[in-house]
Structure 1
Amino acid sequence: MSDAQADPTVMTSPDPEAPAVPLQAPRVPWAAVAVFAIVSCGLAWLVASPLWVRGLGMTDPLLPVIAAAMMLTPAIATIAALLVERRRRGRRGARGILHDLGMWPLRPVGRTLGMSAAAIVVLPLLIAAGLLVVGLLGLARFDLVGFSGFAAQLDAVLPQGTPAPPIVLLVAMQLVMIPVGAVVNAPFAFGEEIGWRGWLLPALRPLGVWPALLVSGAFWGFWHSPLILLGYNFGLTDITGVLLMILACMVLGVLLGWTRLRTGSVWPAVFGHGAFNAAAGLGALVVAADSSVPPAWLAGPAGLITCAVMAAVVAVLVAAGQFRRDRLDARLG
């Protein structure tokens, strides 16, 4: 069955060469959005509940495992939303669903692969740019020769008397591993991105480009609440941390969402998200051992300074016309 036959809002023309004529403007599937919101947040709290029950907070050894498992909950919520949409839109088939979620086909291949590669490089550079601003503002002092802060961390964890490889070599290996980490993180980043940029962003697209980008990003930030309220990312355990995460995810969500709208594919956002997570520890490599450490809410990878850097990049993209409707909508068709 063709897309036009499956979608009751589209009328085909007697001329097979003529474009389909929409009978009515597309609308936000609010019932499916509500199911997505409830399932994703509900599962996030359910998965994170052992951290709250055990009461160990950020020192809980289960934290990495639970945080990774939580990243898969938007994918489950997407399945629930698709089941709700199925009643409204009818059967789409596997190919139609993969297309709607931006998973397949990879057309145009060059743009999709190029944007994915660019995301792997650019997202860590934004964190590095944030660190540069931190240094220029005098909030921290960096050691880019001896990497004394990183060396001190290694001394603290290695058994006494254990020889360590040259610190410069270790730092170089850490930097080289960032793009590798982007690929390794991809399955977990996919668990999130298939929800935020794969399904939710296009579902909200009838609201307009900017409302869809900002609302989907805000919800992405709010979804992190079970971990943020334990002190994750910012070391804050109140609503302030949640609001900071919402802000960070709105700004980063605009960049990741732009790759989705620009290419029609979810994969650049997947690899960009994975690269951003892989580069989150850059500051620990370069801060000097005797330097003051600014608070994470200000200078961390999701802090206000990095948010300002990302907002500046968004402004450049806007000025370059990259958010014009004619450059975005065609890719979701």
Structure 2
Amino acid sequence: MRLELWNCIHRIPWRRRISPWRLAAAAGCALAIYFAVCAVVGAVLHFCATGDRQLLWTIAVLGGIFAQLPAGAGLVLCCLAAPPAKRLLAAKLGIRPLRRRDWKVIGACVAANLLLCGPVTGVWELMLNACDIPYRREQELALMIADGSPLLIALLLVGAVIVAPVVEEIGFRRVLFGLFRPLGAWPAILMSCAVFSLVHGFLLGIPGLFLLGFLFQYAYLRTRNLAAAVLLHMVVNLIAAAAALIEPLFR
């Protein structure tokens, strides 16, 4: 598997077509905007949560989700600023139609997520309890999906299942991995997965999110198709949203 993954990394077409300096400069600006927005929204969430201002907290969460729309547009413009030989947006983003083998990779990654994320999170939870480290059991987004109005749930689902996967896969799997790639294949994979798990701001979910980041990265490298990683991300987020909606029924 290690040799196969290494060969997949070296066969990614965009690494040979895009000037790394132009991509690094453009992507750095876009990622700075993206992470700045996430940090500001996180600070507002914390203030609203501790101040017990439910309405402001809700607005901040929604703002954090849909602020990814301009950030995603910025990332697309970054790809346009450093075009490859073919002037096609799909080629710039590494997107092509899904093949049968791509669907198999997506299915295998979904199964791996269902089998591994639960046990990994459970072990991490035991360690946090043993060290007496406080943590939240659920993310704010999951709580809002479970307790929100139908309109709010619909807006959250659009953001979490459609917007976030597209933006995050362009940012983490396409751009951030490319920026870390000069450090080596595995360091780039591990560092991009670590950043992906940390920016979500959910202590209990860090190991599970790291594993998800690795599965998304593997899907992209194995298929050489960003569409596979985006679709996998959408499926995973849809499963998580469905679980958040169903869980109150069993309380």
Asked if TM exceeds 0.5, the reply is yes
CA contact (8 A) 2:30 2:75 kept: yes
Match of 1:61 among 39, 58, 62: 58
Q: Quick one: distance in 1 between partners of 2:235 and 2:218? A: 16
| Amino acid in structure 1 at the alignment position of 2:59 | L
Matched, 1:265 2:234: no
Gaps of 5+ in 2: 1-15, 130-146, 148-156
Maintained 8 Å contact 1:119/1:275: no
Give the count of matched residue pairs. 201
TM value normalised by structure 1? 0.46
Task: Map residues 24-39 of structure 1 onto 2, 5 A cutoff.
Answer: 27=20, 29-39=23-33
Distance change >3 Å, CA 36–CA 216, structure 1 → 2: farther
Instruction: Report the AA paired with residue 115 of structure 1.
Output: V
Is the contact made by 2:37 and 2:64 (CA closer than 8 Å) also made in structure 1?
A: no
1:111-190 to structure 2, matched below 5 A, reads: 111-130=101-120, 185-190=161-166
2:142 equivalent in structure 1: none
Cα-to-partner distance string for 1:144-192 (whole Å, 9 max, x where unaligned): xxxxxxxxxxxxx8xxxxxxxxxxxxxxxxxxxxxxx89x814431121
**Alignment-derived partner of residue 9 in structure 2:** none
Q: Residue 216 of structure 2 aligns to which amino acid in structure 1?
A: L
Whichever of the two has the greater Rg, that structure is 1
Is the 1:186–1:271 Cα contact (8 Å) retained in structure 2?
no
TM-aligned CA deviation for residue 194 of structure 1: 2.0
Assess, with a 3 A threshold, how the Cα gap between structure 1 residues 58 and 81 changes in structure 2: closer, same or farther: farther
2:187 alignment partner in structure 1 = 211
Partner of 2:152: none
* Superposition deviation, residue 129 in structure 1: 3.7
Bigger RCO (CA 8 Å, 6+ sep): 2
CA distance in 1, matches of 2:213, 2:108: 16
**Cα shift readout 1:221-272 (whole Å, capped 9, x = no counterpart):** 4543xxx3xxxx338xxxxxxxx84x65444322211110110112332233
Indicate the RMSD between aligned Cα atoms, in angstroms: 4.4
Alpha-carbon contact 2:38-2:64 (below 8 Å) kept: no
Give the alignment of 1:195-206 within 5 angstroms: 195-206=171-182
TM-score (normalizing by structure 2): 0.58
CA distance in 1, matches of 2:67, 2:113: 22
Identity %: 22
Q: Which runs of 5+ in 1 are unaligned?
A: 1-22, 140-156, 158-180, 236-243, 290-333
Q: Which residue pairs with 1:234 in the alignment?
A: 203
The separation in 2 between residues aligned to 1:210 and 1:57, in whole angstroms, is: 43
**Which letter does structure 2 place at the counterpart of 1:220?**
F
